[in-house]
Chain A
Amino acid sequence: MSTYAQKKGVGAVLWDYLTTVDHKKIAILYLIAGGFFFLVGGLEAMFIRIQLAVPGNDFVSAGVYNEILTMHGTTMIFLAAMPLIFAFMNAVMPLQIGARDVAFPFLNSLGFWLFFFGGVFLNLSWFLGGAPDAGWTSYASLSLASEGHGIDFYVLGLQISGAGTLIGGINFLVTIINMRAPGMTYMRMPLFTWTTFVTSALILFAFPPLTVALFLMLFDRLFGGNFFNPDMGGNTIIWEHLFWIFGHPEVYILVLPAFGIFSEIFAIFSRKRLFGYSSMVFATVLIGFLGFMVWAHHMFTTGLGPIANAIFSVATMAIAVPTGIKIFNWLFTMWGGSIKFTTPMLYAIAFIPTFTMGGVTGVMLASAAQDYQYHDSYFVVAHFHYVIVGGVVFALLGGLHLYWPKMFGTMLNEALGKVTFWLFLIGFHLTFFIQHFLGLMGMPRRIFTFNEGQGFETANLVSTVGAFFMAVATIVLLINVVMTIAKNKKVGGDPWGDGRTLEWAIPSPPPFYNFKQLPLVRGLDPYWIEKMEGNKEMTPAEPIGDIHMPNNSFVPFVISVGLFIAAFGAMYHNEHSWGIPVLIIGMLVVFGSMFFRSVKDDHGYHIHKEELMDDDKGGKA
Chain B
Amino acid sequence: MKADEKFTYETWPAAPEKQTLDGKNKFLGFWLFLGGETVLFATLFATYLALKDRVPNSDHYLAKDLFEIPLVFVMTMLLLTSSLTSVYAMYHMKNFNFKKMQLWLGITVLLGLAFLGLEVYEFNHYVHEYHHTFTSSAFGTAFYTLVGFHGGHVAFGLAWIITLMVRNAKRGLDLYTAPKFYVASLYWHFIDVVWVFIFTVVYLMGMVG
A residues near B, CB below 8 A? 103-104, 166, 170-171, 173-174, 177-179, 204-205, 207-209, 211-213, 215-216, 219-220, 223-227, 229, 231-235, 238, 242, 245, 595, 598-599, 601, 603
Contact = CB atoms under 8 A, between A and B. Distances in A.
Interface stretch (B28-36, B65-73, B82-90): B28-36
B51 interface: yes
A595 B167 CA distance: 11
Interface stretch (B9-17, B104-112, B140-148, B185-193): B140-148
B32 to A, nearest CB: 5
Interface residues of B, number: 37
B47 A212 contact: yes
Given A174-B28, A227-B141, A233-B137, 14 more contacts: A170-B33, A170-B36, A171-B29, A178-B21, A204-B32, A208-B36, A208-B40, A216-B47, A216-B145, A223-B135, A225-B134, A225-B145, A235-B50, A601-B176
Interface in B9-59: 21, 24-25, 28-29, 32-33, 35-37, 39-40, 43-44, 47, 50-51, 54-56
B145 A219 contact: yes
Given A104-B25, A174-B29, A231-B56, A598 B163 contact: yes
A165 to B, nearest CB: 11
Which 9 A/B pairs are nearest by Cβ-Cβ distance? A233-B54, A233-B138, A224-B135, A208-B40, A234-B138, A208-B39, A103-B25, A212-B43, A225-B141
B169 interface: no
Contacts, number: 113
Contacts of A103: 25, 28-29
Interface of B: 3-4, 21, 24-25, 28-29, 32-33, 35-37, 39-40, 43-44, 47, 50-51, 54-56, 134-142, 145, 160, 163-164, 167, 176
Name B's interface SS: helix
B203 to A, nearest CB: 20
Nearest to B20: A548
Interface centre among A205, A213, A233 (most CB of B within 10 A): A233
Interface centre among A171, A212, A229, A598 (most CB of B within 10 A): A212
Contacts of A166: 36
Given A170-B29, A207-B36, A219-B145, A242 B137 contact: no
Contacts of A238: 47, 50-51
A171 B26 CA distance: 10
Nearest to A171: B29
Contacts of B36: 166, 170, 204-205, 207-208
Contact of B141 (A104, A219, A231, A595): A219
